Amino acid sequence: MAFFASLWAISAEANVEDLQERLRAASNDPEVDFEALVTEAREGGVKEAYILQATVFKKLARRDIDGSLETIDSLLEVAEDLSFGPSETFLSKRQIVGFASALRAFQAYEQNNYEEFENQASKAFLDAPSYVEAFGLLSLLTEMRASEARDLAMADLRIPMDLEIASVDGESRTLQGWLGGNQALLIDFWASWCGPCIMLMPQLKAKAEALADQGVLVVGMNTDKGNNQLELAKKIQDQHEMQSVTWLLEPKTAPLGSLLMINSIPRMILVGEDGSVLYNGHPMDPTLKQALAKLNVTLPEGDIAAR
């Protein structure tokens, strides 16, 4: 009898381990009925800690950050039931704490709560450095510091409004000439190789049409390098039916890009009549809405930056 009891115990243990592994795999597999598997795991004797561990990653895969953090708090209460090590999901309980901090930092950044972002990112670095990299926190912090330096530099900057810029139609004017009687220029820096730039073309077109009556001229500034810049700019203009948007070509020496510290695109610049830089950032950043509001200008309904 003892032999068969031992054999049953080994079999039961193997079944539990199999269910735990299936849970871990299912947390990132949208084809699996995760809730049904959780029920099976509970009935099969899997400890709640392993179910919570898998649930954290399942909710994260669904971009349910709040739900993930709530589950992590529950997981930490029963973390002693987990196995830790190189072959496990977490190396230690401390790494779970660091994982939570990294996730809270990411959430704070998305909410523009930069003080909390720095606080949580620091904790994550101390407890779980690998998750700082996994969540891209170092890149976010680098961009944040660059943005701070850029904002400081932009405060006293004046764009030379006498700078000559050509359009794809061969017309050349100064920035002041392109501005005309408008109160501001909204310049979108883009390139044909930039996927995110191309994806935002419909919104750029909508901005141009909605802001024209509000005294803001929206222009696309192509930054492609090489001798085929004109050809590439026209190709995108035709493909995305952007003829209603003023389509300009940045000079080969990139005088504006250098002056405006543009090291990534898409980038949108709001320039006042006197050449002052009223906004310098991503087209989707909600602070663009705030900068335009100071000019009594509103973004079109449905624009991502207007949310």
**In 115-196, where do the E strands start and end?**
164-167, 172-174, 184-190
At residue 188, φ and ψ (nearest 5 deg) are: -105, 115
At residue 303, the pLDDT reads 73
- Residue type at 110? E
Structure tokens at 229: 């810049």
Domain 13-144 = CATH 1.25.40: yes
Encoded tokens for 251: 């000079």
The per-residue pLDDT for range 10-32, each reduced to its tens digit, is: 444 557 788 888 888 888 888 88
* Close Cβ partners of 170 (under 8 Å, ≥ 6 residues apart): none
Specify which residues 296 forms β-bridges with: none
DSSP 243: T
The fold for domain 164-306 equals: Glutaredoxin (3.40.30)
Lowest-pLDDT choice from 28-42, 168-182, 222-236, 268-282 = 28-42
pLDDT in tens, 148-168: 887 787 778 899 999 999 999
Checking if the pLDDT of 95 tops 60, the result is: yes
Q: How far apart are CA 281 and CA 290, in angstroms?
A: 12
CATH 1.25.40 domain locations along the chain: 13-144
Write out the residue limits of the CATH 3.40.30.10 domain(s) in the chain: 164-306
